[in-house]
Structures are given as C-alpha cells and as structure tokens.
C-alpha cells in the first residue's frame, strides 16, 4: 500500500453532506426571519449557489485527498487550496475504529478512523469511504509492524468472544440516560417552534370527547411526553448497542456494535491505561454495571466521555471472570479502606452546597409570589443524602500492582489502575483537611486529549502516604516499559 490511493467517490458526497449539516441551522434561521418580499428570490438563488459550491468543494476535497503507508508511517496529503501533509508513525497509533453509516452500507463501504495519544479533539486521520476489504488490510498494516506480522502469521490465533444478550440489551436501554438526551432535544425544539404548535386546538379537540380540567390536561400531556421520550430513548440505545460483541484475538480487542450504523474498534491490550466500572442510580440496586476501557487516544466521535465501552451491561458478579478472559492484567477488587467517619460531615456539606443558592432564590420568590415555593426546602435533605451516599462509597484498595479507587458523583465509579500505567499521582491537603488529619489522592492516566483524572477526597493522611509510597516504588523495568510503549 505504498502507492497513493484515493477514497471511494462517495467520500466527496459525504464531505458535502457534512458541510450542509453545519449550515442547516443558519439556513433555517434565515428562512424563518424572512428575507423580505423584494429579496426573496435572491435569498433562494444565493442558497442554491452556496449549496452548489459546497458540492464542488466536496468533490475537490475527495480528489485531493490521498493516503498511503510508507517507511512505517501512514502518510496523508490533502487540501483544496493549500496542500497539507500529515505523517503518522505506526507506533503512535493507539486505536483504529471502523464504522459504517447508512450511506456507506448502501455502497458496501466503511469509515476508518485512526487515533493517537494526544491527537486532539478529533481523530488523527479519517477515511470516510473505503472498501471493507481495504479497511481490513489497512487495520492489519497499522496494528502491527512487519516483523510482528511475520511472527504472528506462524502462530495460531486464539479467539474469545462475548456478545450482549437480548435481555441485557433491553435492561441497558431501559435504564440508560437516553431519556434525558431525548427530553433535552425536544425541549430545545419546543423553545424554537412552540408558537407554531397547535396546543390550544389539541386541547379543544380532546375536550369535545373527554371532560378534563386544564391541570389534568397538563399532567396527562407531561406524562405522555415522558413516556414517549423514554420509549424513544430505549429505541436509540437499542440501535446503538445492538449486536454488541467483543472479540479477543491474541493481544487485541475487537469491539463491534450498532444495527443501523455499524462500528468496530480495535484496541491493543498494551494501550489500555485503566478499567472503569460505572453503576448509575437505577442499575446499582439491580446489580448491573457498565465496564469502560480508558485507552490512550480519543476523539469527539468516540463518545462515552472519550472512553470505550467494553461491556455495556453485565452483572457485577460476572465482571471478574470477564476481565480474566479479556483483560487479564486487571482484576475485580472490593474496596477495603473507606473514608473515615470524621469526613462524613465534609461530604454532606459538599452535597448541600450546589442546592443552597437555588433554595435561597426559591424562598425569596415564594415570599413575594406564593408560599408553595417553600417546598424547595426539600432540596436540602436531597443534597445531604447525596453527600452521605458519596461518603459511604468513597475508598481505595491495593493488591500487588493494582490500585482501586472508588467514589461517586451521581453514579458509583470504580477505577482499576495498573501501577505502571499511572502517569502521575497527586496528594493534596487543604487547610481545613489539615485540622482533621485528612488528605485527597488524585491519579492521572494517559487518555483522550487531556488525560483522565480520578480523585478520592478526605482519606486519612496516613492512608494517602501509603498509596504514595506504593506508587513511588515503581522499579526501573516499569519505567522502561512505559517509555517503550
């Protein structure tokens, strides 16, 4: 693959659609404002010219974009007016994602993304439309050096596969935060187009057949809105995680998901920096959790807060067995050391702080308008309960070369660190903490654009020193391994 290649011509059309998507809202905004009777035809003529220019630019972008592999590098040349070159050494590549949207699947094509550590908010290289066979060749060439390929070709590949069940997919979709995204989107739509929606006509139509007061009508409408949002959220998550499989081939994980848009991510085990387990407020009582991989490299397209989902929904009791099969360097650990009792009130006060300004505003408004606002005082015990739950969860544990940190914001988070993968560790102590002989510990790992940081607050200072001394005892071999990888 040393000769320059171009993507499939569909890439030019996809580039055009991307530009059109970015200008969609401005076009709609100008349309509703109205160009005026005298300039109406010029508005539509100008819009047509802009769209035509974007189509031409998309075609030129495809024609000028070439890629090849040469001297251990992925070399890309692109640019319509200014010619640019980007050389990516193969050893810097962290993850390779392959996906296929609706348009790609119509033409039997896929999109390939290459991500590197510190590559920025976007993927380092994106090939939007290439044949699947060519994507597989590129992935093999970029995943290994030539000597590694020759060595592995003589070995029998071992494969271990995990696939999400229908029951797990349904529970995953039903307990996800997808409903919040749908509600936010609908509210944003309503805020822009509420005046065009026939709410009054709908109410009058319903009143002809069913006698409802305005209050009951509003309650029913809100309940129906929440139910539809929940159903749409389930549909979105089901389509996103349908056919979710994880396949381990020797030292690499191949993660595939999606029904309409199929995505595949390749992650070498050596690139995994930490394992994170998330349990939201609904799944935790049911005994379910989501397992994430924190790997070097990331982009905005990845989602999940720059993390890769390893197991979307599994029973917590089954996590250790799965880790042993797929990520043997990490193991499930229960937290043995919790935050001391003297830190309880510090956690509860921090839980209250975000709610206090809101409660004060509600009380002031209630004094002038309605006494119902005093119900806002109920936010205070909610904040204190949230703080107490954070206090009960926070803690740490060390077994051999693995450090486990556990904490909560809303969801309960458990992070497994391997000693040699921790980029830095901070021990912090404020003036108030010093009075109670408390400290906080924070770790950083190499992931996404700015890395990932995890913190447990208000531990006994002696325990923080224990963690600190454990981290300092990294031997020379650990440091050399980090530099090589």
Q: Check if the beta carbon of residue 380 is closer than 8 Å to that of residue 355.
A: yes
Q: Indicate whether 415 and 455 sit together in one domain.
A: yes
Looking at residue 195, what is its pLDDT?
Answer: 52
For 71-125, write each residue's pLDDT tens digit: 888 889 988 888 888 888 887 787 788 888 888 888 888 898 888 765 555 678 8
Do 114 and 59 lie in a common domain? Answer: yes
At 359, the pLDDT band (50, 70, 90 cuts) reads: confident
Whether residue 359 sits in one domain with residue 219: no
Same domain, 231 and 256: no
Tell the burial category of 224 from Cβ atoms under 10 Å away from its Cβ (0-12, 13-18, 19+): exposed
- Which of 36-50, 352-366, 400-414 has the highest mean predicted lDDT (pLDDT)? 400-414
Query: Over 50: is that where the pLDDT of 156 sits?
Result: no
% of the chain at pLDDT higher than 70:
75
* 454 and 334 assigned to the same domain: yes
Do 17 and 82 reside in the same domain of the chain?
yes
Predicted confidence (pLDDT) at residue 41 exceeds the cutoff of 90: no
Considering the domain architecture, whether residues 323 and 349 belong to the same structural domain is answered as: no
Residue 2 lies in a domain: no
- pLDDT score of 345 more than 90: yes
Domain that residue 354 falls in: 341-390
Residue 161, domain member (yes or no): no
Asked, for residue 214, whether it belongs to a domain, the answer is yes
Q: Are residues 103 and 141 in the same domain?
A: yes
What are the residues facing 445 on neighbouring strands? 422, 452
Residue 459 β-bridge partners: 439
Nearest to 385 by CA among 418, 407, 352: 352
How many structural domains is the chain composed of?
4
Is there a domain that residue 4 lies in?
A: no
Q: Specify the higher pLDDT residue, 118 or 261.
A: 261
The tokens 């890395």 sit on which residue?
A: 451
pTM tops 0.85: no
Give CA–CA dist 382/358, Å, rounded.
13
Q: pLDDT (tens digit, 9 = 90+) per residue, 442-451?
A: 999 887 556 7
Q: Do the domain assignments include residue 292?
A: yes
Average pLDDT estimate for 282-303: 77
Mean pLDDT over residues 27-38, rounded?
A: 59
Rounded to an integer, what distance in angstroms lies between the CA atom of residue 371 and that of residue 473? 61
Q: pLDDT band at residue 281, thresholds of 50, 70 and 90?
A: confident
Give 121-155 pLDDT, tens digit per residue.
567 888 899 988 888 888 878 765 444 544 444 44
Q: What is the phi/psi pair of residue 302, to 5°?
A: -70, -40
One domain, residues 174 and 307: no
Q: Is residue 160 part of a domain?
A: no
Among 221, 241, 261, the domain boundary falls at 241
Whether 53 and 151 map to the same domain: the answer is: yes
Q: Is residue 67 part of a domain?
A: yes
pLDDT of residue 137: 84
**Average of pLDDT values for 402-407?**
95
Confidence class for position 37, pLDDT limits 50, 70, 90: low
Helices (H) and strands (E) in the chain, counts: 18, 20
In a domain, 162, yes or no: no
Tell me what the mean pLDDT of segment 206-223 comes to. 65
Name the band, by pLDDT with cuts 50, 70 and 90, for residue 333: confident
Question: Which of 390, 423, 455 finishes a domain?
Answer: 390
Same domain, 253 and 401: yes
CB 240 within 8 Å of CB 257: yes
Boundary of a domain, candidates 102, 121, 155:
155
How far apart are the C-alpha atoms of 51 and 120, rounded to whole Å?
30
User: What is the CA 291 to chain-centroid distance, rounded?
Assistant: 12
Tell me: do 199 and 253 sit in the same domain.
no
User: With 50 as the cut, is the pLDDT of residue 480 above it?
Assistant: no
Q: How far apart are CA 451 and CA 271, in angstroms?
A: 13
Q: How is residue 186 written in tokens? A: 């609908």
């Amino acid at each position: 693959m040393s000769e320059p290649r171009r993507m499939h011509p569909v890439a030019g059309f996809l580039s055009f659609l991307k530009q059109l998507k970015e200008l969609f809202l401005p076009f709609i905004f100008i349309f509703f404002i109205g160009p005026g009777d005298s300039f109406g035809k010029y508005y539509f003529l100008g819009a047509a010219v802009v769209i035509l220019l974007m189509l031409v630019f998309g075609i030129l972008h495809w024609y000028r974009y070439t890629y090849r592999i040469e001297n251990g590098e992925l070399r890309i040349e692109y640019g319509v007016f200014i010619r640019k070159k980007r050389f990516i050494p193969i050893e810097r590549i962290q993850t390779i994602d392959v996906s296929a949207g609706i348009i790609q699947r119509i033409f039997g094509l896929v999109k390939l993304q290459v991500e590197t550590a510190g590559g920025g908010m976007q993927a380092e290289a994106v090939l939007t439309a290439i044949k699947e066979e060519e994507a597989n060749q590129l992935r093999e060439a970029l995943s290994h050096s030539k000597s590694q390929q020759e060595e592995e070709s003589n070995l029998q590949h071992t494969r271990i596969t995990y696939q999400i069940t229908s029951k797990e997919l349904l529970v995953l979709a039903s307990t996800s935060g997808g409903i919040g995204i749908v509600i936010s989107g609908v509210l944003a739509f309503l805020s822009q187009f509420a005046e065009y929606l026939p709410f009054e006509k709908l109410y009058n139509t319903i009143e002809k057949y069913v006698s409802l007061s305005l209050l009951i009508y509003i309650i029913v409408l809100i309940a129906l809105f929440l139910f539809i949002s929940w159903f749409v959220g389930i549909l979105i998550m089901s389509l996103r995680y349908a056919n979710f499989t994880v396949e381990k081939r020797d030292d690499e994980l191949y993660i595939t998901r999606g029904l309409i848009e199929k995505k595949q991510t390749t992650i070498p085990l050596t690139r995994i920096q930490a394992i994170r387990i998330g349990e939201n407020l609904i799944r935790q009582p049911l005994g379910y959790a989501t397992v994430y991989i924190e790997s070097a490299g990331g982009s905005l397209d990845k989602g999940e807060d720059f993390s890769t989902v390893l197991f979307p929904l599994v029973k917590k009791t089954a996590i250790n067995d799965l880790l042993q099969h797929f990520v043997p360097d990490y193991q499930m650990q229960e937290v043995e050391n919790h935050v001391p009792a003297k830190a309880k009130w510090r956690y509860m006060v921090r839980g209250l702080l975000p709610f206090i300004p809101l409660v004060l505003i509600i009380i002031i408004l209630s004094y002038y308008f309605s006494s119902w606002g005093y119900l806002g005082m109920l936010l205070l015990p909610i904040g204190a309960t949230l703080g107490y739950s954070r206090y009960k969860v926070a803690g740490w544990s060390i077994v051999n070369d693995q450090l486990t940190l556990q904490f909560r914001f809303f969801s309960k988070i458990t992070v497994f660190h391997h000693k040699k993968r921790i980029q830095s560790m901070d021990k912090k102590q404020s003036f108030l903490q010093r009075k109670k002989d408390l400290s906080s510990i924070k770790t950083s790992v190499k992931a996404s654009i700015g890395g990932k940081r995890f913190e447990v607050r208000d531990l006994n200072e002696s325990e923080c020193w224990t963690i600190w001394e454990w981290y300092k005892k990294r031997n020379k071999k650990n440091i050399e391994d980090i530099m090589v990888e």
